[in-house]
Structure 1
Amino acid sequence: MLTLLYTHSADLSAIEHHSQESAKVKISCQRKITSLGGGYSKDDFSVYFRGEKLRGASASSFKYLGGGYGKDNWKVFYRGIVVEEASASSFEYSESGYGKDSWKTFVGGKAVANQNLQSIGGGYSKDDFAVYFRGEKLRDASASSFKYLGGGYGKDNWKVFYKGMVVEEASASSFEYSESGYGKDNWKSFFRGKAVANQNLQSIGGGYSKDNFSVYFRDQKIEDASASSFKYLGGGYGKDNWKVFYQGMVVKEASASSFEYSEDGYGKDNWNVFYRGRVVER
Protein backbone atom coordinates (compact mmCIF):
# COMPACT_ATOMS: atom_id res chain seq x y z
CA MET A 1 0.00 0.00 0.00
CA LEU A 2 2.81 2.43 0.90
CA THR A 3 4.56 1.59 -2.36
CA LEU A 4 1.38 2.32 -4.33
CA LEU A 5 0.83 5.61 -2.51
CA TYR A 6 4.43 6.67 -3.13
CA THR A 7 4.18 5.71 -6.78
CA HIS A 8 0.91 7.59 -7.13
CA SER A 9 2.45 10.66 -5.46
CA ALA A 10 5.51 10.48 -7.72
CA ASP A 11 3.28 10.22 -10.77
CA LEU A 12 1.30 13.27 -9.68
CA SER A 13 4.55 15.18 -9.15
CA ALA A 14 5.79 14.16 -12.58
CA ILE A 15 2.49 15.16 -14.17
CA GLU A 16 2.56 18.51 -12.38
CA HIS A 17 6.17 19.10 -13.48
CA HIS A 18 5.28 18.15 -17.06
CA SER A 19 2.31 20.52 -16.98
CA GLN A 20 4.52 23.34 -15.75
CA GLU A 21 7.07 22.67 -18.47
CA SER A 22 4.31 22.50 -21.08
CA ALA A 23 2.94 25.79 -19.80
CA LYS A 24 6.40 27.35 -20.11
CA VAL A 25 6.70 26.07 -23.67
CA LYS A 26 3.23 27.35 -24.47
CA ILE A 27 3.99 30.77 -23.03
CA SER A 28 7.30 30.83 -24.91
CA CYS A 29 5.60 29.87 -28.16
CA GLN A 30 2.93 32.51 -27.65
CA ARG A 31 5.50 35.29 -27.18
CA LYS A 32 5.10 37.64 -30.11
CA ILE A 33 8.12 39.30 -31.70
CA THR A 34 7.34 42.53 -33.54
CA SER A 35 9.55 43.88 -36.31
CA LEU A 36 10.38 47.57 -35.79
CA GLY A 37 12.42 48.16 -38.94
CA GLY A 38 16.11 48.44 -39.70
CA GLY A 39 16.83 44.94 -38.38
CA TYR A 40 15.37 45.69 -34.95
CA SER A 41 12.56 43.73 -33.32
CA LYS A 42 11.17 43.24 -29.83
CA ASP A 43 8.83 41.19 -27.70
CA ASP A 44 7.35 42.09 -24.32
CA PHE A 45 10.66 41.62 -22.54
CA SER A 46 13.62 42.10 -24.90
CA VAL A 47 14.93 43.99 -27.92
CA TYR A 48 16.79 42.26 -30.77
CA PHE A 49 18.97 43.33 -33.67
CA ARG A 50 19.11 40.84 -36.53
CA GLY A 51 17.96 38.15 -34.12
CA GLU A 52 20.54 38.87 -31.44
CA LYS A 53 19.33 40.12 -28.05
CA LEU A 54 20.47 43.63 -27.11
CA ARG A 55 21.67 43.60 -23.52
CA GLY A 56 20.51 46.55 -21.46
CA ALA A 57 17.84 47.68 -23.93
CA SER A 58 14.37 48.41 -22.55
CA ALA A 59 11.64 46.79 -24.64
CA SER A 60 8.88 48.96 -23.18
CA SER A 61 10.44 52.23 -24.37
CA PHE A 62 12.55 51.12 -27.35
CA LYS A 63 11.75 52.54 -30.77
CA TYR A 64 13.42 52.55 -34.18
CA LEU A 65 14.41 56.00 -35.45
CA GLY A 66 15.73 55.22 -38.93
CA GLY A 67 19.11 54.85 -40.60
CA GLY A 68 20.24 52.09 -38.23
CA TYR A 69 19.50 54.11 -35.09
CA GLY A 70 17.19 53.10 -32.25
CA LYS A 71 16.79 54.23 -28.67
CA ASP A 72 15.06 53.55 -25.40
CA ASN A 73 14.65 55.97 -22.51
CA TRP A 74 18.30 55.62 -21.50
CA LYS A 75 20.48 54.56 -24.44
CA VAL A 76 20.97 55.16 -28.16
CA PHE A 77 21.92 52.28 -30.46
CA TYR A 78 23.40 52.18 -33.96
CA ARG A 79 23.01 48.83 -35.71
CA GLY A 80 22.68 47.13 -32.36
CA ILE A 81 25.69 48.81 -30.73
CA VAL A 82 25.35 51.38 -27.94
CA VAL A 83 26.34 54.90 -29.00
CA GLU A 84 28.17 55.77 -25.80
CA GLU A 85 28.36 59.55 -26.25
CA ALA A 86 24.74 60.09 -27.28
CA SER A 87 21.99 61.43 -25.02
CA ALA A 88 18.81 59.40 -25.51
CA SER A 89 16.51 62.13 -24.23
CA SER A 90 17.39 64.54 -27.05
CA PHE A 91 18.75 62.25 -29.77
CA GLU A 92 17.11 62.45 -33.20
CA TYR A 93 17.91 60.80 -36.52
CA SER A 94 18.41 63.18 -39.44
CA GLU A 95 19.10 61.20 -42.62
CA SER A 96 21.78 59.27 -44.49
CA GLY A 97 23.44 57.96 -41.32
CA TYR A 98 23.42 61.30 -39.51
CA GLY A 99 21.94 61.87 -36.06
CA LYS A 100 22.25 64.47 -33.36
CA ASP A 101 21.46 65.23 -29.75
CA SER A 102 21.54 68.56 -27.94
CA TRP A 103 25.34 68.55 -27.83
CA LYS A 104 26.81 66.45 -30.63
CA THR A 105 26.41 65.30 -34.23
CA PHE A 106 26.91 61.65 -35.17
CA VAL A 107 27.71 59.87 -38.44
CA GLY A 108 27.38 56.10 -38.60
CA GLY A 109 27.02 55.95 -34.83
CA LYS A 110 30.19 57.94 -34.11
CA ALA A 111 30.49 61.50 -32.84
CA VAL A 112 32.09 63.86 -35.35
CA ALA A 113 34.52 66.60 -34.41
CA ASN A 114 32.68 69.26 -36.40
CA GLN A 115 29.42 69.99 -34.62
CA ASN A 116 28.23 72.50 -37.23
CA LEU A 117 27.62 69.87 -39.91
CA GLN A 118 24.23 69.92 -41.61
CA SER A 119 23.05 66.82 -43.47
CA ILE A 120 21.83 67.63 -46.99
CA GLY A 121 20.96 64.09 -48.10
CA GLY A 122 22.54 61.03 -49.68
CA GLY A 123 25.40 60.88 -47.18
CA TYR A 124 26.46 64.46 -47.93
CA SER A 125 26.75 67.20 -45.33
CA LYS A 126 28.31 70.63 -45.15
CA ASP A 127 29.19 73.48 -42.84
CA ASP A 128 30.00 77.08 -43.76
CA PHE A 129 33.36 76.17 -45.25
CA ALA A 130 33.46 72.58 -46.50
CA VAL A 131 31.43 69.67 -47.92
CA TYR A 132 31.60 66.12 -46.56
CA PHE A 133 30.54 62.67 -47.70
CA ARG A 134 29.89 60.22 -44.88
CA GLY A 135 31.97 62.41 -42.61
CA GLU A 136 34.97 62.70 -44.96
CA LYS A 137 35.83 66.13 -46.32
CA LEU A 138 35.58 66.58 -50.10
CA ARG A 139 38.58 68.41 -51.48
CA ASP A 140 37.82 71.33 -53.81
CA ALA A 141 34.05 71.25 -53.24
CA SER A 142 32.42 74.64 -52.71
CA ALA A 143 30.15 74.66 -49.66
CA SER A 144 28.37 77.85 -50.70
CA SER A 145 27.09 76.40 -54.00
CA PHE A 146 27.03 72.65 -53.31
CA LYS A 147 23.70 70.85 -53.45
CA TYR A 148 22.57 67.25 -53.40
CA LEU A 149 20.80 66.09 -56.57
CA GLY A 150 19.76 62.54 -55.69
CA GLY A 151 20.99 59.01 -56.38
CA GLY A 152 24.43 59.70 -54.92
CA TYR A 153 25.05 62.75 -57.12
CA GLY A 154 25.87 66.25 -55.92
CA LYS A 155 27.38 69.30 -57.54
CA ASP A 156 28.70 72.78 -56.92
CA ASN A 157 29.19 75.51 -59.53
CA TRP A 158 32.26 73.79 -60.98
CA LYS A 159 32.20 70.04 -60.34
CA VAL A 160 29.88 67.04 -60.22
CA PHE A 161 30.32 64.35 -57.55
CA TYR A 162 29.07 60.79 -57.25
CA LYS A 163 29.20 59.34 -53.74
CA GLY A 164 31.94 61.79 -52.85
CA MET A 165 34.07 61.24 -55.97
CA VAL A 166 34.49 63.81 -58.74
CA VAL A 167 32.80 62.85 -62.03
CA GLU A 168 35.60 64.09 -64.27
CA GLU A 169 33.73 64.18 -67.59
CA ALA A 170 30.57 65.86 -66.33
CA SER A 171 29.67 69.51 -66.85
CA ALA A 172 28.30 70.97 -63.63
CA SER A 173 26.43 73.80 -65.35
CA SER A 174 24.09 71.43 -67.21
CA PHE A 175 24.27 68.21 -65.18
CA GLU A 176 21.00 66.76 -63.90
CA TYR A 177 20.17 63.56 -62.08
CA SER A 178 17.61 61.36 -63.82
CA GLU A 179 16.86 58.23 -61.77
CA SER A 180 18.17 54.79 -60.85
CA GLY A 181 21.83 55.87 -60.96
CA TYR A 182 21.56 57.76 -64.25
CA GLY A 183 22.47 61.39 -64.82
CA LYS A 184 23.21 63.55 -67.84
CA ASP A 185 24.62 66.86 -68.97
CA ASN A 186 24.29 68.53 -72.39
CA TRP A 187 26.81 66.17 -73.95
CA LYS A 188 26.90 62.86 -72.11
CA SER A 189 24.91 60.36 -70.10
CA PHE A 190 26.29 58.84 -66.90
CA PHE A 191 25.55 55.74 -64.89
CA ARG A 192 26.75 55.58 -61.29
CA GLY A 193 29.25 58.34 -61.90
CA LYS A 194 30.75 57.00 -65.13
CA ALA A 195 30.08 58.11 -68.69
CA VAL A 196 28.28 55.45 -70.72
CA ALA A 197 29.44 54.54 -74.20
CA ASN A 198 25.95 54.73 -75.67
CA GLN A 199 24.83 58.34 -75.45
CA ASN A 200 21.35 57.59 -76.81
CA LEU A 201 20.33 55.69 -73.68
CA GLN A 202 17.17 56.82 -71.96
CA SER A 203 16.54 55.80 -68.36
CA ILE A 204 13.08 54.26 -67.90
CA GLY A 205 13.33 53.43 -64.18
CA GLY A 206 14.48 50.67 -61.86
CA GLY A 207 17.96 50.48 -63.38
CA TYR A 208 16.55 49.86 -66.87
CA SER A 209 17.34 51.99 -69.90
CA LYS A 210 16.93 51.66 -73.64
CA ASP A 211 17.82 53.18 -76.98
CA ASN A 212 16.12 52.65 -80.33
CA PHE A 213 17.42 49.11 -80.66
CA SER A 214 18.23 47.54 -77.29
CA VAL A 215 17.27 47.38 -73.61
CA TYR A 216 19.80 47.58 -70.76
CA PHE A 217 19.83 46.84 -67.06
CA ARG A 218 22.46 48.74 -65.08
CA ASP A 219 24.20 49.54 -68.36
CA GLN A 220 24.38 45.87 -69.43
CA LYS A 221 22.51 44.88 -72.60
CA ILE A 222 19.60 42.48 -72.11
CA GLU A 223 19.66 39.89 -74.88
CA ASP A 224 16.39 39.25 -76.74
CA ALA A 225 14.50 42.14 -75.18
CA SER A 226 12.45 44.26 -77.59
CA ALA A 227 13.19 47.96 -77.19
CA SER A 228 10.08 49.04 -79.07
CA SER A 229 7.67 47.33 -76.65
CA PHE A 230 9.70 47.16 -73.43
CA LYS A 231 8.40 48.99 -70.38
CA TYR A 232 9.32 49.13 -66.73
CA LEU A 233 6.61 47.87 -64.36
CA GLY A 234 8.13 48.55 -60.94
CA GLY A 235 9.89 46.57 -58.22
CA GLY A 236 12.64 45.37 -60.58
CA TYR A 237 10.19 43.96 -63.15
CA GLY A 238 9.98 44.90 -66.81
CA LYS A 239 8.42 43.29 -69.86
CA ASP A 240 8.12 43.48 -73.61
CA ASN A 241 5.45 41.83 -75.76
CA TRP A 242 6.97 38.38 -75.30
CA LYS A 243 8.99 38.14 -72.09
CA VAL A 244 9.01 39.24 -68.45
CA PHE A 245 12.26 40.32 -66.78
CA TYR A 246 13.33 40.75 -63.16
CA GLN A 247 16.46 42.82 -62.61
CA GLY A 248 17.50 42.13 -66.19
CA MET A 249 16.94 38.36 -66.08
CA VAL A 250 14.15 36.54 -67.93
CA VAL A 251 11.37 35.17 -65.72
CA LYS A 252 10.82 32.02 -67.76
CA GLU A 253 7.58 30.90 -66.11
CA ALA A 254 5.84 34.26 -66.54
CA SER A 255 3.38 35.17 -69.29
CA ALA A 256 4.09 38.65 -70.61
CA SER A 257 0.56 39.18 -71.93
CA SER A 258 -1.03 38.95 -68.47
CA PHE A 259 1.85 39.73 -66.12
CA GLU A 260 1.40 42.63 -63.70
CA TYR A 261 3.52 43.96 -60.87
CA SER A 262 1.77 44.12 -57.50
CA GLU A 263 4.03 45.49 -54.72
CA ASP A 264 6.91 44.62 -52.40
CA GLY A 265 8.57 42.32 -54.95
CA TYR A 266 5.37 40.46 -55.90
CA GLY A 267 3.95 40.08 -59.39
CA LYS A 268 1.43 37.78 -61.02
CA ASP A 269 0.10 36.52 -64.33
CA ASN A 270 -3.02 34.46 -65.04
CA TRP A 271 -1.41 31.27 -63.69
CA ASN A 272 1.24 32.06 -61.09
CA VAL A 273 2.31 34.45 -58.35
CA PHE A 274 5.94 35.57 -58.33
CA TYR A 275 8.24 36.99 -55.67
CA ARG A 276 11.45 38.65 -56.82
CA GLY A 277 11.27 36.84 -60.13
CA ARG A 278 10.53 33.36 -58.79
CA VAL A 279 7.30 31.39 -58.69
CA VAL A 280 5.69 31.25 -55.27
CA GLU A 281 4.82 27.61 -54.58
CA ARG A 282 1.17 26.98 -53.78
Structure 2
Amino acid sequence: MALINLLSSLPDTYKPALITSSTAILGAFIGAIVAQYLSHRLTLKRERIKHLGEIYYKLFSPIVFEIYSYIDIRTHFRRGHDINPDVSEDLIFSQIFNHVESNLMYASPKLKKAFHEVKKSKYSFDGSGFMTQINELLFLLTILEDLYSLESDLKIYDEENINGLINNKIYLIIWALILYISSDESQALEVVKYKWLLDDAKLNEKSYKFIKKQYGFFILTEQKNKKNTFSASNFIQFIKNELIIKQEDKEMFDEIIQNNIEVLD
Protein backbone atom coordinates (compact mmCIF):
# COMPACT_ATOMS: atom_id res chain seq x y z
CA MET A 1 0.00 0.00 0.00
CA ALA A 2 2.88 2.35 0.85
CA LEU A 3 4.45 1.65 -2.53
CA ILE A 4 1.18 2.48 -4.27
CA ASN A 5 0.85 5.72 -2.33
CA LEU A 6 4.45 6.59 -3.18
CA LEU A 7 3.80 5.95 -6.84
CA SER A 8 0.68 8.11 -6.77
CA SER A 9 2.52 11.02 -5.17
CA LEU A 10 5.26 11.09 -7.80
CA PRO A 11 5.11 13.43 -10.80
CA ASP A 12 3.92 11.70 -13.97
CA THR A 13 7.36 12.13 -15.59
CA TYR A 14 8.96 9.85 -12.96
CA LYS A 15 6.33 7.12 -12.91
CA PRO A 16 7.43 5.22 -16.07
CA ALA A 17 11.04 5.07 -14.90
CA LEU A 18 10.02 3.82 -11.45
CA ILE A 19 7.71 1.18 -12.91
CA THR A 20 10.41 0.01 -15.32
CA SER A 21 13.07 -0.22 -12.61
CA SER A 22 10.69 -1.94 -10.19
CA THR A 23 9.72 -4.47 -12.85
CA ALA A 24 13.38 -5.14 -13.63
CA ILE A 25 14.22 -5.64 -9.95
CA LEU A 26 11.20 -7.93 -9.45
CA GLY A 27 12.06 -9.89 -12.61
CA ALA A 28 15.66 -10.30 -11.49
CA PHE A 29 14.49 -11.44 -8.04
CA ILE A 30 12.08 -14.00 -9.47
CA GLY A 31 14.71 -15.11 -11.99
CA ALA A 32 17.21 -15.65 -9.19
CA ILE A 33 14.71 -17.75 -7.24
CA VAL A 34 13.83 -19.85 -10.31
CA ALA A 35 17.50 -20.32 -11.17
CA GLN A 36 18.29 -21.38 -7.62
CA TYR A 37 15.35 -23.81 -7.63
CA LEU A 38 16.37 -25.34 -10.95
CA SER A 39 19.99 -25.58 -9.80
CA HIS A 40 18.85 -27.32 -6.62
CA ARG A 41 16.70 -29.78 -8.60
CA LEU A 42 19.57 -30.47 -10.96
CA THR A 43 21.91 -31.09 -8.04
CA LEU A 44 19.44 -33.48 -6.44
CA LYS A 45 19.00 -35.31 -9.74
CA ARG A 46 22.76 -35.65 -10.18
CA GLU A 47 23.14 -36.92 -6.63
CA ARG A 48 20.32 -39.42 -7.16
CA ILE A 49 21.81 -40.70 -10.41
CA LYS A 50 25.20 -40.94 -8.73
CA HIS A 51 23.66 -42.95 -5.87
CA LEU A 52 21.80 -45.24 -8.30
CA GLY A 53 25.00 -45.73 -10.26
CA GLU A 54 26.77 -46.77 -7.07
CA ILE A 55 24.00 -49.29 -6.35
CA TYR A 56 24.36 -50.71 -9.86
CA TYR A 57 28.13 -51.08 -9.76
CA LYS A 58 28.23 -52.36 -6.18
CA LEU A 59 25.24 -54.70 -6.12
CA PHE A 60 24.12 -55.64 -9.62
CA SER A 61 27.01 -55.33 -12.04
CA PRO A 62 29.18 -58.11 -10.52
CA ILE A 63 26.39 -60.74 -10.58
CA VAL A 64 23.95 -60.03 -13.41
CA PHE A 65 25.72 -62.25 -15.92
CA GLU A 66 26.28 -64.85 -13.22
CA ILE A 67 22.49 -65.02 -12.89
CA TYR A 68 22.13 -65.43 -16.65
CA SER A 69 24.75 -68.19 -16.57
CA TYR A 70 22.98 -69.96 -13.71
CA ILE A 71 19.68 -69.94 -15.62
CA ASP A 72 21.32 -71.09 -18.84
CA ILE A 73 23.27 -73.92 -17.19
CA ARG A 74 20.38 -75.27 -15.12
CA THR A 75 17.92 -75.20 -18.03
CA HIS A 76 20.25 -75.96 -20.94
CA PHE A 77 18.63 -78.17 -23.58
CA ARG A 78 21.90 -80.01 -24.34
CA ARG A 79 23.54 -79.69 -20.97
CA GLY A 80 25.29 -83.06 -21.07
CA HIS A 81 26.80 -82.21 -24.45
CA ASP A 82 27.42 -78.44 -24.36
CA ILE A 83 28.15 -77.67 -20.68
CA ASN A 84 31.51 -78.62 -19.20
CA PRO A 85 31.07 -81.36 -16.57
CA ASP A 86 33.08 -79.46 -13.96
CA VAL A 87 30.70 -76.47 -14.01
CA SER A 88 28.70 -76.17 -10.78
CA GLU A 89 25.51 -74.14 -10.83
CA ASP A 90 25.27 -74.56 -7.05
CA LEU A 91 28.60 -72.79 -6.70
CA ILE A 92 27.39 -70.00 -9.00
CA PHE A 93 24.23 -69.56 -6.91
CA SER A 94 26.29 -69.45 -3.71
CA GLN A 95 28.50 -66.75 -5.21
CA ILE A 96 25.43 -64.69 -6.16
CA PHE A 97 23.87 -65.19 -2.73
CA ASN A 98 27.07 -64.33 -0.86
CA HIS A 99 27.58 -61.22 -2.96
CA VAL A 100 24.10 -59.94 -2.15
CA GLU A 101 24.67 -60.71 1.53
CA SER A 102 27.86 -58.65 1.47
CA ASN A 103 26.04 -55.73 -0.17
CA LEU A 104 22.66 -55.78 1.56
CA MET A 105 23.06 -52.07 2.34
CA TYR A 106 22.34 -51.41 -1.36
CA ALA A 107 19.38 -53.82 -1.59
CA SER A 108 15.73 -52.79 -1.71
CA PRO A 109 13.34 -53.97 1.04
CA LYS A 110 11.83 -56.40 -1.49
CA LEU A 111 15.23 -57.92 -2.26
CA LYS A 112 16.11 -58.14 1.43
CA LYS A 113 12.90 -60.06 2.04
CA ALA A 114 13.63 -62.47 -0.83
CA PHE A 115 17.17 -62.90 0.49
CA HIS A 116 15.96 -63.77 3.98
CA GLU A 117 13.43 -66.28 2.59
CA VAL A 118 16.35 -68.19 1.07
CA LYS A 119 18.42 -67.73 4.23
CA LYS A 120 15.59 -69.11 6.34
CA SER A 121 15.34 -72.22 4.18
CA LYS A 122 18.86 -73.17 5.24
CA TYR A 123 17.68 -73.83 8.81
CA SER A 124 13.97 -74.65 8.40
CA PHE A 125 12.11 -77.37 6.50
CA ASP A 126 9.27 -76.16 4.30
CA GLY A 127 7.47 -79.52 4.28
CA SER A 128 7.03 -79.62 0.50
CA GLY A 129 10.61 -80.18 -0.62
CA PHE A 130 10.33 -77.73 -3.51
CA MET A 131 9.38 -74.36 -1.99
CA THR A 132 13.03 -73.81 -1.09
CA GLN A 133 13.92 -74.07 -4.77
CA ILE A 134 11.07 -71.72 -5.69
CA ASN A 135 12.34 -69.20 -3.14
CA GLU A 136 15.78 -69.36 -4.73
CA LEU A 137 14.27 -68.64 -8.15
CA LEU A 138 12.21 -65.76 -6.74
CA PHE A 139 15.35 -64.37 -5.11
CA LEU A 140 17.05 -64.26 -8.52
CA LEU A 141 13.88 -62.85 -10.09
CA THR A 142 13.76 -60.04 -7.52
CA ILE A 143 17.33 -59.11 -8.36
CA LEU A 144 16.45 -58.85 -12.05
CA GLU A 145 13.25 -56.91 -11.31
CA ASP A 146 15.18 -54.37 -9.25
CA LEU A 147 17.85 -54.16 -11.94
CA TYR A 148 15.19 -53.50 -14.59
CA SER A 149 13.73 -50.70 -12.48
CA LEU A 150 17.18 -49.24 -11.87
CA GLU A 151 18.06 -49.37 -15.56
CA SER A 152 14.95 -47.38 -16.44
CA ASP A 153 16.51 -44.49 -14.50
CA LEU A 154 20.15 -44.96 -15.47
CA LYS A 155 19.59 -45.78 -19.18
CA ILE A 156 22.85 -47.75 -19.34
CA TYR A 157 21.65 -50.76 -21.37
CA ASP A 158 21.21 -51.03 -25.10
CA GLU A 159 18.21 -52.82 -26.62
CA GLU A 160 19.97 -56.18 -26.72
CA ASN A 161 20.82 -56.06 -23.03
CA ILE A 162 17.32 -54.93 -22.08
CA ASN A 163 15.82 -57.80 -24.08
CA GLY A 164 18.18 -60.23 -22.37
CA LEU A 165 17.10 -58.92 -18.98
CA ILE A 166 13.40 -59.27 -19.78
CA ASN A 167 13.87 -62.73 -21.28
CA ASN A 168 15.57 -64.00 -18.14
CA LYS A 169 12.83 -62.54 -15.93
CA ILE A 170 10.28 -64.48 -17.97
CA TYR A 171 12.34 -67.68 -17.82
CA LEU A 172 12.54 -67.43 -14.03
CA ILE A 173 8.86 -66.80 -13.38
CA ILE A 174 7.81 -69.56 -15.80
CA TRP A 175 10.34 -71.91 -14.20
CA ALA A 176 9.06 -71.13 -10.69
CA LEU A 177 5.42 -71.65 -11.72
CA ILE A 178 6.15 -74.90 -13.57
CA LEU A 179 8.04 -76.09 -10.50
CA TYR A 180 5.04 -75.28 -8.34
CA ILE A 181 2.72 -77.16 -10.70
CA SER A 182 4.94 -80.24 -10.96
CA SER A 183 6.17 -80.25 -7.32
CA ASP A 184 9.32 -81.87 -8.65
CA GLU A 185 12.54 -80.15 -9.72
CA SER A 186 13.61 -82.73 -12.32
CA GLN A 187 10.16 -82.73 -13.96
CA ALA A 188 10.08 -78.95 -14.06
CA LEU A 189 13.52 -78.82 -15.67
CA GLU A 190 12.38 -81.30 -18.31
CA VAL A 191 9.80 -78.69 -19.33
CA VAL A 192 11.80 -75.49 -18.84
CA LYS A 193 14.77 -76.72 -20.86
CA TYR A 194 12.52 -76.33 -23.92
CA LYS A 195 12.39 -72.56 -23.37
CA TRP A 196 13.84 -72.20 -26.85
CA LEU A 197 10.32 -72.96 -28.14
CA LEU A 198 9.21 -69.55 -26.85
CA ASP A 199 9.12 -66.86 -29.51
CA ASP A 200 11.54 -63.97 -28.91
CA ALA A 201 9.00 -61.42 -30.13
CA LYS A 202 6.59 -62.53 -27.39
CA LEU A 203 9.17 -62.29 -24.61
CA ASN A 204 8.61 -58.66 -23.71
CA GLU A 205 7.81 -56.61 -20.63
CA LYS A 206 4.09 -56.66 -21.44
CA SER A 207 4.09 -60.47 -21.35
CA TYR A 208 6.09 -60.49 -18.14
CA LYS A 209 3.68 -58.12 -16.39
CA PHE A 210 0.72 -60.21 -17.53
CA ILE A 211 2.26 -63.46 -16.25
CA LYS A 212 3.14 -61.83 -12.94
CA LYS A 213 -0.32 -60.32 -12.44
CA GLN A 214 -2.42 -63.20 -13.75
CA TYR A 215 -0.45 -66.17 -12.45
CA GLY A 216 2.64 -65.08 -10.54
CA PHE A 217 0.71 -63.60 -7.60
CA PHE A 218 0.25 -67.14 -6.31
CA ILE A 219 3.94 -67.63 -5.58
CA LEU A 220 5.07 -64.01 -5.34
CA THR A 221 2.58 -63.03 -2.62
CA GLU A 222 0.54 -64.67 0.12
CA GLN A 223 -2.71 -64.18 -1.80
CA LYS A 224 -3.43 -67.88 -2.22
CA ASN A 225 -7.08 -67.33 -1.36
CA LYS A 226 -7.43 -64.55 -3.91
CA LYS A 227 -10.72 -64.60 -5.83
CA ASN A 228 -9.06 -65.14 -9.22
CA THR A 229 -7.23 -68.25 -8.02
CA PHE A 230 -4.26 -69.69 -9.83
CA SER A 231 -5.13 -72.13 -12.62
CA ALA A 232 -2.33 -74.44 -13.70
CA SER A 233 -4.11 -75.49 -16.90
CA ASN A 234 -4.77 -71.86 -17.86
CA PHE A 235 -1.13 -71.01 -17.31
CA ILE A 236 0.04 -73.92 -19.49
CA GLN A 237 -2.41 -72.87 -22.20
CA PHE A 238 -1.18 -69.27 -21.97
CA ILE A 239 2.40 -70.40 -22.64
CA LYS A 240 1.33 -72.50 -25.61
CA ASN A 241 -1.10 -70.01 -27.15
CA GLU A 242 0.62 -66.70 -26.42
CA LEU A 243 4.35 -67.36 -26.18
CA ILE A 244 4.79 -70.06 -28.84
CA ILE A 245 4.09 -69.18 -32.49
CA LYS A 246 4.75 -72.19 -34.71
CA GLN A 247 2.13 -74.94 -34.74
CA GLU A 248 4.73 -77.71 -34.67
CA ASP A 249 6.30 -76.09 -31.60
CA LYS A 250 2.88 -75.91 -29.90
CA GLU A 251 2.41 -79.63 -30.52
CA MET A 252 5.86 -80.37 -29.16
CA PHE A 253 5.11 -78.34 -26.04
CA ASP A 254 1.86 -80.29 -25.50
CA GLU A 255 3.78 -83.54 -25.71
CA ILE A 256 6.46 -82.31 -23.29
CA ILE A 257 3.82 -81.34 -20.71
CA GLN A 258 1.96 -84.65 -21.09
CA ASN A 259 5.14 -86.67 -20.65
CA ASN A 260 6.46 -84.80 -17.62
CA ILE A 261 3.85 -83.24 -15.36
CA GLU A 262 0.27 -83.81 -14.32
CA VAL A 263 -1.61 -80.55 -14.62
CA LEU A 264 -4.32 -80.33 -11.97
CA ASP A 265 -6.29 -77.22 -10.93
Q: TM-score, normalised by structure 1?
A: 0.27
- Between Structure 1 and Structure 2, the one with more strand by share is 1
Q: TM-score, normalised by structure 2?
A: 0.28
